[in-house]
């Protein structure tokens, strides 16, 4: 499972304040803890706008790459912030752009940066018609977006398709639609990764973490092989480790056994 650590995000109150105060210690601590907990990418989202976002992205990238050798996911709709991130990025591993959609503005602004850089990219199955709300809509948008990226020279394995998760509380078929979309996309594009921010599924409902964990496991069975999530959530990470063992993705259950020995599985 490829984990994209989501915690360095300026939309979170504490991170927003740390960015405003240029609290380097806070950001470095978050980066290191996520890396140690199993994150494969460290997401950096300044959550600001304009010139401030460009400068804040540079500051975050320099801090995170100095604290860990994990590749960074540059999380911004601002092409200038993305370009600045690549200018200062010195990591040896290929970074990621989070994200591109099929919306005209994002295609115009973000797609050229992806093509020029050859980076991994999160591709959201979202077009100008808005949030997918009908069965089959995700698959149709995803195909158009993946085909466009392939046409521009991006290999399947650099694409992390996000099927876009809608709240279960507003549509009781939302979870099933996502599962069906994952299955269809993986069948047609077997090397494309499937990722998602899982917490949208539980928005507005009680005991959200339970729904998030169960939904993660169901999606993994359908073909999800990446997640944008909190790697410091021990219950979630334990669930992922157990699911990978059950789904045959963990040879001889060695990762599961190692996690148990490290005290990461709980009781």
- For 178-199, how does the pLDDT look when each residue is reduced to its tens digit (9 = 90+)? 999 999 999 999 999 999 998 8
pTM of the entire predicted model? 0.96
- For 215-230, how does the pLDDT look when each residue is reduced to its tens digit (9 = 90+)? 999 999 999 999 999 9
Per-residue confidence (pLDDT) for residue 36, from 0 to 100: 96
Per-residue confidence (pLDDT) for residue 133, from 0 to 100: 74
Report cis status (omega within 30 of 0) of the bond before 99: yes
What are the boundaries of each domain within the chain? 2-261
- Distances 1 to 166, 224, 229 between C-alpha atoms, Å: 22, 8, 11
Residues of the chain with pLDDT under 50: none
CATH code of the domain occupying 2-261: 3.20.20.20
């Amino acid at each position: 499972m490829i984990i994209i650590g989501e915690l360095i995000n300026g939309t979170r109150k504490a991170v927003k304040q740390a960015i405003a105060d240029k609290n380097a210690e806070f950001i470095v601590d978050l980066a290191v803890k996520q890396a140690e907990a199993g994150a494969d990418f460290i997401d950096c989202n300044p959550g600001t706008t304009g010139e401030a976002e460009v400068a804040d992205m540079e500051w975050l990238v320099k801090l995170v790459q100095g604290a860990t050798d994990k590749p960074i996911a540059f999380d911004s709709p601002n092409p200038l912030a993305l370009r600045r991130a690549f200018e200062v990025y010195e990591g040896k591993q290929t970074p990621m752009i989070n994200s591109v959609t099929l919306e005209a503005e994002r295609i115009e602004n973000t797609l050229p940066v992806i093509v020029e850089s050859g980076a991994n990219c999160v591709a959201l199955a979202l077009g100008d018609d808005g949030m997918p709300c009908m069965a089959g809509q995700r698959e149709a948008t995803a195909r158009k977006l993946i085909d466009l990226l392939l046409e521009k020279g991006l290999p399947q394995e650099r694409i992390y398709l996000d099927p876009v998760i809608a709240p279960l509380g507003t549509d009781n078929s939302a979870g099933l639609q996502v599962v069906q979309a994952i299955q269809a996309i993986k069948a047609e594009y077997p090397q494309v990764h499937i990722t998602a921010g899982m917490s949208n599924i539980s928005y507005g409902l009680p005991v959200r973490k339970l729904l998030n964990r169960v939904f993660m496991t169901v999606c993994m069975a359908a073909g999800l092989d990446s997640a944008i999530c909190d790697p410091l959530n021990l219950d979630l990470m334990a669930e992922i480790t157990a699911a990978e063992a059950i789904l045959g993705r963990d040879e001889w259950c060695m990762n599961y056994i190692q996690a148990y020995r490290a005290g990461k599985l709980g009781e």
